[in-house]
A and B are shown apart, each in its own frame.
Chain A
Amino acid sequence: MKSSQLESVWGYVFIFPWILGMLFFTAGPIIASVFLSFCEWDLITPIKWVGLQNYIKLFMDDPRFWKSLYNTLFYTAMSVPLQLVAGITIAVLMNQQVRLIKVFRTIFYLPSVTAGVASSIIWMWLFNPDVGLINYFLAIFGIHGPLWLASEFWAKPVYVIMSLWGVGGGMLVYLAGLQGIPAALYEAASIDGANSFQKFIHVTLPMLSPIIFFNLVILVIQSFQIFTQAYVMSGGSGAPADSTLFYVVYLYQMGFRFHQMGYASALAWILFLITLGATLLLFRFSGWVHYEGNVKEK
């Protein structure tokens, strides 16, 4: 056996547990959900075939579907750019040669490994209108803080602000990318007389662009699936007045609270198609991404 073959065999061995899990626990339900999306099923009474009815109702006669889609798009549009910028900024800062840099890196990464439920509860306290630290801080500057989660207007921005808490994961990937940029490029730029801002724009960003693109795709997919925080912080209700009813929260309500598994499956497939569409769109407009050593046809 050639060494390259051996390597691929070991590759399969290592992903074997995942493949097993995928086949036993995920593939079956995925296939079943296609079928269920054309049915009516409350988990216990027999499954009833209803054809396209779920999909028709979803688009023609379900204001909460549109509301949840709007809430999710709002969240995605606000949080993804913020997370990208924050992630790159922190990564650049964490790439400096200063003392205790490893400690700082750990501190910034830590939030992304804390459990979603626990951090959601901490954020609920921070955003508490009366005793929360955030309004306390605003009050120092004479600003009367809003009601945050109790306010129809401010509830969604709370989740956008919270999303910054998790930029540590992205930061780590950017950091790896930053360290992979050859020092020679910066030296060449210096010789050409570039200042550090110009170096950032003309060297760092293009060299980092594949990683930015990767993070962008992942972030968009993740934002479409926002659930844990919203479930914990509104008790799964989407209150106040459905302003935090995100798509997956609605899907969960339909499936597990109202026991309409067929309708929930239809919702899930529509979300899959939306996410797929958004991802393809991002790839379609990825001309700005610079692939080193890869001559791209323009």
Chain B
Amino acid sequence: MKKILAFLGVGLLLFSNFACAPKKDAKTELRFVFWGDLSEIQIFNNIVAEFERENPKIQVKLERAPSGAPYIEKLLTQFAGGMAPDIVFVEVNNFVNFSQRNVLMDLSEFVFSDESFKMENIYPEVLSRFSMDNKLFVLPRDTAPICCVYYNKDLFDEAGLPYPKDDWQWPRDFLPIAQKLTKTDASGRVSRFGFVDDWSLWDAFVLSNGGNYVDDAKNPTRITLDSPEALGGFKFRQDLIYKYKVMPTPSQMSSAGGVGSADLFMTGKAAMFLSGIWKTPYFRDIKNFDWDVAMFPKGPTGIRRFPTGGSGYAITKTCKHPREAWKLIKYLCGREGQVQLAKTGLAQPANMSIAKSEYFLDGQKPKNKGMLLDAVKYVSYSPYMDRWNEFLIAYLNPALDKVWSGEKSPEEALKPVVTKANKELFKK
């Protein structure tokens, strides 16, 4: 018995000894967590390798995390466990989750003291999104207005329709075009849809109908998705599906063979497709038809607004080497990084001078990409509300499922959940 215990004791001692072996590394190590698909990983790797060559004293540890909801889940858990990285890749929506927990470093001091950094080159809308109380927390990388209506030129030609102009309106121009492009086969089954969106992009309709997510995006006290304007936007999208039948129902989508709506566009089964500019690299593989983009149409009263994505880099408060970290994120957002990003066609650089340059407007498809420079003026961001995500998942989406399945009108479905959410989510 004693022997066994002694054996185990020695084992434990040895083990703990190994764990405490000192590290001999004079280099400053920066841990940088990001998400992205293969082409983005490549961009990160290239730029970081270049940076390390110029700064031999700094070593960057790149760590890829899953995108979407799991990203914030993983990172907040790391923050809670005292394992926060030095630099995080942040996106306009999850920025709220970080900033409201006060885990990001105020970059203002660096921005103002570093003469080599030109803040006036960056879109003011994006800077404003990433600021709170006049402090800047994120250095913007790109902006992504979700206003790109990709359209199949061949199908427009076939139907004898002129290509959409950027100043079109949804009831006057967009709807009749979508109706003309929708095709039904002999059995009454829709063989081609006039319009699809990348996911349920109701925001675009709600916002351009004059609706709003909340009363005040920067300081919300009430969700306003039950206003007549907002409900009108939801109703229009529902009508596109059930009344005009130019968009697939959720069941038609799920019987489409597990393909996304982007695939419907790529295979010519949808004539128009709404998303952000990031679809461009995929659509450049389309061989059998010509395509371009138009800005998402204005609402019935001429209002033009749409949701937006976009991302940037932040330094965490617990970072031990803020000077080196600033050097890195400045480099990533600098000319090199922005040019590389622009060349892929994946994103619109947050740096206006690069966005306006031939690197972004390189004459490749989509030809009308330049409209994005103008589109930045019309973007709306999700509210500064930590529990916004909870509102979407726990309140809005289950109710909207009933709207998109055609069981309930937006008014019936949304009024009660918005009322309940307003009662629940703003409690202090």
Q: List residues of chain A with CB under 8 Å of any chain B CB.
A: 1, 9, 13, 16, 42-45, 64, 124-125, 128-131, 147, 149-152, 236-242, 253, 256-259
Residues of chain A contacted by B80 (CB below 8 angstroms):
43-44
Q: Enumerate B366-421 residues with CB–CB distance to A below 8 Å.
A: 386-387, 389-390, 393-394, 397-399, 401-402, 405
- Cβ contact of B254, chosen from A43, A149, A238, A256, cutoff 8 A: A149
- The chain B residue sitting closest to A259, CB to CB, is B76
Does B73 contact A1, Cβ atoms closer than 8 Å? Answer: no
Does B394 contact A253, Cβ atoms closer than 8 Å? Answer: yes
> What are some 22 contacts across the A-B interface (CB < 8 A)?
A44-B80, A44-B102, A45-B102, A64-B394, A128-B257, A131-B257, A131-B258, A147-B254, A149-B254, A150-B251, A236-B69, A237-B393, A238-B398, A240-B250, A241-B402, A241-B405, A242-B398, A256-B77, A258-B387, A258-B393, A259-B97, A259-B386
- The chain B residue sitting closest to A16, CB to CB, is B8
Q: Enumerate B254-285 residues with CB–CB distance to A below 8 Å.
A: 254-258
Residues of chain B contacted by A253 (CB below 8 angstroms):
393-394
Does B101 contact A9, Cβ atoms closer than 8 Å? Answer: no
Bound complex: CA of A241 vs CA of B403, how far in Å?
10
Bound complex: CA of A147 vs CA of B80, how far in Å?
41
Bound complex: CA of A84 vs CA of B80, how far in Å?
42
Residues of chain B contacted by A152 (CB below 8 angstroms):
401, 405
Bound complex: CA of A42 vs CA of B387, how far in Å?
11
Does B251 contact A43, Cβ atoms closer than 8 Å? Answer: no
CB distance from B150 to the nearest CB of A (A): 24
Bound complex: CA of A64 vs CA of B399, how far in Å?
12
Residues of chain B contacted by A259 (CB below 8 angstroms):
76, 97, 386
- The chain B residue sitting closest to A43, CB to CB, is B80
Contacts A131-B257, A241-B398 known; list 8 others, CB within 8 Å.
Answer: A9-B4, A42-B386, A43-B79, A129-B254, A147-B251, A242-B398, A258-B390, A258-B393
Residues of chain B contacted by A237 (CB below 8 angstroms):
393, 397
- The chain B residue sitting closest to A238, CB to CB, is B398
Q: Enumerate B300-347 residues with CB–CB distance to A below 8 Å.
A: none
User: What 8 pairs between A and B have smallest CB-CB spacing?
Assistant: A150-B254, A43-B80, A241-B401, A130-B255, A258-B390, A129-B255, A44-B101, A242-B398
CB distance from B105 to the nearest CB of A (A): 15
* B1 CB–A CB distance under 8 Å: yes
Bound complex: CA of A236 vs CA of B72, how far in Å?
14
* B103 CB–A CB distance under 8 Å: yes
**Contact flag A257-B389 (CB < 8 Å), given A128-B258, A130-B255, A147-B254:** yes
- The chain A residue sitting closest to B7, CB to CB, is A13
**Contact flag A257-B258 (CB < 8 Å), given A150-B250, A241-B398:** no
Does B257 contact A44, Cβ atoms closer than 8 Å? Answer: no
**Contact flag A44-B251 (CB < 8 Å), given A237-B393, A256-B77, A257-B393:** no
Question: For this complex, into which size category does the number of interface residues on chain B fall?
Answer: 20 to 34
Does B398 contact A239, Cβ atoms closer than 8 Å? Answer: yes
Bound complex: CA of A58 vs CA of B121, how far in Å?
50
Bound complex: CA of A129 vs CA of B258, how far in Å?
9
CB distance from B98 to the nearest CB of A (A): 10
Bound complex: CA of A252 vs CA of B138, how far in Å?
29
Main secondary structure of the interface of B (DSSP, over half): helix
Does B398 contact A258, Cβ atoms closer than 8 Å? Answer: no
Does B1 contact A44, Cβ atoms closer than 8 Å? Answer: no
Does A43 contact B257, Cβ atoms closer than 8 Å? Answer: no
Residues of chain B contacted by A128 (CB below 8 angstroms):
254, 257-258
Does A240 contact B401, Cβ atoms closer than 8 Å? Answer: yes
Residues of chain A contacted by B69 (CB below 8 angstroms):
236, 257
- Cβ contact of B103, chosen from A1, A44, A257, cutoff 8 A: A44
CB distance from B149 to the nearest CB of A (A): 26
Q: Enumerate B86-108 residues with CB–CB distance to A below 8 Å.
A: 97, 101-103
**Contact flag A147-B1 (CB < 8 Å), given A240-B405, A257-B390:** no
Does A256 contact B251, Cβ atoms closer than 8 Å? Answer: no
Residues of chain B contacted by A16 (CB below 8 angstroms):
8
Does B251 contact A258, Cβ atoms closer than 8 Å? Answer: no
Residues of chain B contacted by A45 (CB below 8 angstroms):
101-102
Does A256 contact B73, Cβ atoms closer than 8 Å? Answer: yes
- The chain B residue sitting closest to A45, CB to CB, is B101
Does A130 contact B394, Cβ atoms closer than 8 Å? Answer: no
Does A43 contact B77, Cβ atoms closer than 8 Å? Answer: yes
Does A13 contact B4, Cβ atoms closer than 8 Å? Answer: yes
Residues of chain A contacted by B254 (CB below 8 angstroms):
128-130, 147, 149-150
Most buried by B among A1, A125, A236, A241: A241
Bound complex: CA of A259 vs CA of B253, how far in Å?
32
CB distance from B34 to the nearest CB of A (A): 20
Most buried by A among B254, B389, B397: B254
Residues of chain B contacted by A258 (CB below 8 angstroms):
387, 389-390, 393-394
| B67-81 to A contact mask, C-beta < 8 Å, 1/0 | 001000100110110
Bound complex: CA of A43 vs CA of B80, how far in Å?
5
